[in-house]
Structure 1
Amino acid sequence: MPPSELMPIGVFARRSGLTPSALRFYADSGLLRPAETDPVSGYRYYRPDQVARAVALRRLRAIGMPLTAVEAVLAADPEEASRLIDEHLAKVLGDAAAARRKAALLQSSLADGVPSRPIAALKGPVLADAVEQVLTATVREPGLPVLGGLRIEVTHEAVTLTATDRYRLSTRTLVPAEPATTVWAGTVDGDELRAAAAEIRRSPLVRIEATPHAIRLRRTAREDQEDQGDLHCGLLSEEFPDYRLMLASLGEATTRATVSKDVFLRALEDHPEERITLRLTDHGTHVMPPGDDHPETPLRATVTGRPLSVSFELTTLYPAVSTALGPDVMLDLRGPDQPATIRSADRGDLTTVAMPIKPEGPSA
């Protein structure tokens, strides 16, 4: 190949995202040899068609794949490569789960001397369901870790779980299995609580205790189970958004629709676009098509108030509907640019507030 078509190692490093030192390492290991090496200076040159292999190598190493497995993936056909990646991912997840279990046992042993105070007792399956429902409103955002957390607020009468990703807010109120003896509030790491949900679901009763930097979940085992120890979830130090002020500032609903949850979900699943526009009139609710070539999808619904068209991102609306309790969903709407409240038509202990978006097209 003419020298003009070869790339020096520095240029190839920028194209591939690998450092020159990494390229030298992969050349020595045989995974990515240079096309040519200057016999006098030892300088290395690469062909343009080697960039794709270098990028794939970088991505495989980024997911922690060892060199022997990387070599096998790069040499395999697409189907076999995909299988090998799945195999590696399963091992990584298994190792992480094992590490989490060992860390929980270590935390439990270290926490024996850490003072804690009881704050609430809840039925395990009820708490697990509520955690998974409310955590749909979290988001991983490096600059705002609190948006990945779940706010727990305990009074003598209730335990309230709340999460928000700024475009959606979900909150659920639970009745304690035993009267709470204290008032407490804290924001719990959402990832750790999500991982704990599978464990607490199998416990008839879970007692929540607070320590300075975490909550301790004490599980009561069934008669046929052995005691599996406590679970620990860290507390986040960042201030949680003042969601109560936002809820208090919501205006009265101008349009209300009640629709079957299953029917609504099917309509959202069949909608071909990422954005959903709902048209609500006295005659019911319609899911608007993305263009004039498709018919509207009618939904049998009870609508009261003013006619309204309102648009949502599918990723905002679908979780709010899917986690609603009961067979029917109620939408309280305040206008095309005002927050919408989505909840069960007959139960008010799980509520989601979702932000609409500006509709697309000439009518926008």
Structure 2
Amino acid sequence: MPNSELMPIGAFAQCSGLTASALRFYADSGLLPPAEVDPVSGYRYYDADQVSRATALRQLREIAMPLAVVEAVLDAGADEAARLLDEHVARIVDDAATARQKAAVIKSALGASVPGLPIAALKGPVLADAVEQVLTATAHEPGMAVLAGLHIEASHEAIALTATDRYRLSTRTLVPAVPAVPAEQTWVGTVDGDDLRAALTTVRRSALVRIEAVPHGIRLRMPEREDRYCRLLFQDFPDHRLMLASLGEATTRATVSKDLLLRVLEEHPGERVSLHISDHGVDVRPPNDEDPGVQLPATVTGAALRIRFEMTTLYPAVSTAIGPDVMLDLRGHDRPVTIRSADRGDLTTLAMPVKFDHSA
């Protein structure tokens, strides 16, 4: 008779999250043998100490880890197990990237005979830099694929690139080298950001890139190089134009050295940062406002202001600005801040502050 403290296979399946059939398979493969098997009935029983191994086994199989590697991870020490996990994930990422690239080539070939709608022609290095800058404001969130995309609005005169993760919004406007969209017409779509990133190396090495709209995506055509296909995302892009139109006038403006501000932010110890903006300049402090900060020289106009940011919001917004100086247009401690180059306005980023606790 089995030990009364042992669990039958059904109870153990509930504790571990594995099905009874999976437990039988892992027992037969030697990965998770039962603690005891009734010699008469053949019923399998498991010990409570086996739950953690069974749970780890289930989690490893959920990330498609081969059985041989699963066994090595389960029997390894913490450092070796972490190394094996990293190798497995890297292999999956590489395989996915390869599959994505091959699929893009196949799609491009399938659509080669389909005439594309010309959108714009841009210098490759200029387009690559703009896409790279704006895509810093993207995010991968479950159910919100559009937040990982680049929104494109093309007209006869300009092409606007926009991305947002809901805490930042970056937009840059480029003048096409060769206008493609007919006068008084526009083309609007949101392109998969990962597809664009994968194409950037080729785009940057091309003197001229012609962008064409094709079914379900865009095609990047480059002389003497393979066409690149990027998917369209069909979720509605957030209404950024309404947000931009409702910002209102800035009540405070500060122009500060980009390098100095970035250096102070890099050395800042916390996850949040407080900016005190006054006639004396920009004072970068911890969020409690009690500890001394670092005073940066700045040209300031308008009312004095205190405002707080998550470091993950403010730092990338400043780092992608063009030029040696950044201009901060502020509208209050709870309103979006516009961050752009002091002398080039074609890249603009909005950064959302965090709630200011006046009792602090």
TM exceeds 0.5? yes
Change (3 A) 1:292 1:106: closer
Verify: 1:202 aligned to 2:205, yes or no: yes
Residue 72 (structure 2) aligns with: 72
CA distance in 2, matches of 1:169, 1:6: 57
Q: Deviations over 1:246-296 (max 9, x none)?
A: 111111111111122122122222222222211111111122224577432
1:129 aligns with 2:129: yes
Residues 333 and 292 (structure 1), Cα distance of their counterparts in 2 relative to 1, 3 Å cut: closer
What is the CA distance between 1:125 and its match in structure 2? 1.9
Structure 1 residues 231-250: aligned runs within 5 Å: 231-250=228-247
Task: Name the SS for the 2:178 alignment partner.
Answer: coil
Does the residue aligned with 2:83 lie in a helix, a strand or coil?
Answer: helix
Aligned: 1:311 with 2:312: no
Does 262-271 or 151-160 show the bigger shift?
Answer: 262-271
Change (3 A) 1:55 1:155: same
User: Relative to structure 1, is the Cα distance of residues 18 and 135 closer, same or farther in structure 2, using a 3 angstrom cutoff?
Assistant: farther
TM-score of the aligned structures, taking structure 2 as reference length: 0.90
Gaps of 5+ in 2: none
The residue that corresponds to 2:157 in the other structure is 157
Of 9-18 and 178-187, more deviation after overlay is shown by 9-18
Residue of structure 1 in register with 2:340 after alignment: 343
Distance 1:322 1:66 in 2: 41
Change over 3 Å in CA distance of 1:177–1:67 after alignment to 2: same
Stretch of structure 1 that moved more, 187-196 or 342-351:
187-196
SS of alignment partner, residue 108 of structure 1: helix
Percent same amino acid at aligned positions? 69
- Tell me the alpha carbon deviations over residues 117-150 of structure 1, each in whole angstroms, 9 at most, x when there is no partner: 1111111222122112111222223333222221
Deviations 1:4-37 (A, max 9, x none): 6544444544444433333332222211223333
Q: Distance in 2 between matches of 1:272 and 1:51?
A: 41
Deviation at residue 45 of structure 1 after TM alignment? 3.7
1:65-104 correspondence runs (5 A): 65-104=65-104
Structure 1 CA distance for aligned equivalents of residues 99 and 290 of structure 2: 54
Q: Which amino acid aligns with 1:234?
A: R
Q: Give the superposition deviation at 1:343.
A: 0.9
Aligned amino acid, residue 168 of structure 1: R
Partner of 1:179 in structure 2?
Answer: 179
Q: C-alpha displacement at 1:344, in angstroms?
A: 1.0
Q: For residue 112 of structure 2, give the secondary structure of its aligned residue in structure 1.
A: helix
In 2, the alpha carbon distance for the partners of 1:350 and 1:134 equals 8
Quickly say closer, same or farther: Cα 1:76–1:181, change in 2 above 3 A: same
- 2:269 corresponds, among 269, 272, 279, to 272
Quote the residue 1:219 is aligned against.
222
TM-score by length of 1: 0.89
1:14 & 1:285 partners in 2: Cα distance? 58
- 1:89, distance to aligned residue in structure 2 (A): 2.9
Which residue matches 1:261?
258
Distance 2:190 2:245 in 1: 21
The count of corresponding residues between Structure 1 and Structure 2 is: 356
Structure 2 CA distance for aligned equivalents of residues 268 and 189 of structure 1 = 31
The one-letter amino acid of 1:205's match is L
Deviation at 1:53, TM superposition (A): 2.5
Q: List gaps (5 residues or longer) in structure 1.
A: 222-226
Tell me the C-alpha RMSD between the 2 structures. Answer: 2.3
Q: Is the 8 A contact 1:259 1:299 kept in 2?
A: yes
Q: How far, CA to CA, are the matches of 1:328 and 1:125 in structure 2? A: 23
What one-letter code is carried by the residue in structure 2 that aligns with 1:190?
A: G
Report if aligned partners of 1:258, 1:303 keep a CA contact under 8 Å in 2: yes
Q: 1:289 touches 1:297 (CA, 8 Å); kept in 2?
A: no
Corresponding position: 1:252 with 2:249 = yes
The 3 A distance-change label for structure 1 pair 106 and 5 is same
> 1:170 is matched with which residue?
170
Note if contact 1:146-1:236 (Cα within 8 Å) is conserved in structure 2.
Answer: yes
Is this contact kept in 1: 2:283–2:293, CA < 8 A? yes
